[in-house]
Amino acid sequence: MEISVNGKPVTIEGMMSLTQFVQSRGFKPQTVVVEYNDEIVKMQMWEGIVLKPHDRLEIVTFVGGG
């Protein structure tokens, strides 16, 4: 199925929780914030969210800036 991650289409196979997805992309959960369909979801909630077609994720992190 296809979901949107940071504005780009991404295809995933089978059932996947948000935790599994974030880890599969190589992110350390403590270093990112996730918006799931426009709502910020705390890390503790990720395990309970199973991704479905057309979900929209924004995964953001801190970078250098002034």
**37 touches other proteins by CB under 8 A:** no
Tell whether residue 53 is a contact of other proteins (CB under 8 A): no
Secondary structure of residue 12 in the 3-state scheme: coil
Backbone phi, then psi, for 41, in 5-degree steps? -120, 130
- Total residue count of the chain as it appears in this document: 66
How many residues bind other proteins, per CB under 8 A? 21
| Cα 31–chain centre separation | 12
Using rule CB under 8 A, residue 14 touches other proteins: no
Which residues lie near other proteins (CB under 8 A)?
6-7, 25-28, 31-33, 35, 40, 42, 58-66
